């Protein structure tokens, strides 16, 4: 993949949801929030590829949670806020950090996100991930 990559045409980004108070405390609601976000992205998939996940832990007995929603995306262009995504109603609630995909360590991180599912074992490799949501449908 990397030898054929046009780094001028596409950019890589780590995105993370910035929850409001009371959000990302319940696993099911957090997964629903992520799924709804991803459903609204479907019309833009000609221009991007990404992998979203709900990460962390939920302990109902302790009433404690540590849930985060984040993923790594590649989209056409170099802009932090592509025109297609500025039309998304909740895009403003995500922080975006550009990744230098020419760096081997960053490439490894990207591939770890995108290849989190072990098809031979039928399990998610990253034990910190509660559920991954693939937005390339």
Higher-confidence residue: 15 or 64? Answer: 15
Name 68's bridge partners: 55
pLDDT at 64: 57
Q: Tokens 């998610």 label which residue? A: 124
pLDDT at 131 over 50: no
List, in order of start, the domains of the chain with CATH numbers.
2-134 (3.30.70.1010)
What is the C-alpha separation between 63 and 58, in angstroms, rounded? Answer: 8
Mean pLDDT of the region 85-102:
91
The CA distance from 115 to 117, in Å, is 6
CA distance 1 to 128: 26
Q: What is the mean pLDDT of residues 48-75?
A: 79
Residue 137 has pLDDT above 50, yes or no: no
pLDDT tens-digit profile of 17-61?
999 888 888 888 888 888 888 888 877 777 888 888 888 777 666
């Amino acid at each position: 993949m990397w030898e054929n990559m046009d780094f001028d045409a596409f950019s890589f980004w780590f995105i993370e949801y910035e929850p409001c108070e009371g959000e990302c405390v319940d696993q099911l609601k957090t997964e629903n929030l992520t799924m709804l976000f991803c459903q609204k992205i479907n019309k833009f998939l000609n221009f991007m590829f990404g992998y979203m996940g709900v990460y962390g832990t939920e302990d109902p007995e302790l009433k404690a949670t540590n849930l985060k929603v984040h993923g790594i995306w590649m989209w056409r262009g170099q802009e932090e806020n592509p025109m297609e995504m500025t039309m998304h109603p909740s895009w403003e609630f995500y922080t975006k950090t550009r990744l230098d995909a020419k760096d081997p360590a960053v490439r490894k991180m990207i591939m770890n996100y995108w290849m989190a599912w072990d098809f031979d074992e039928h399990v998610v490799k990253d034990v910190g991930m509660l559920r991954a949501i693939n937005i390339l449908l």
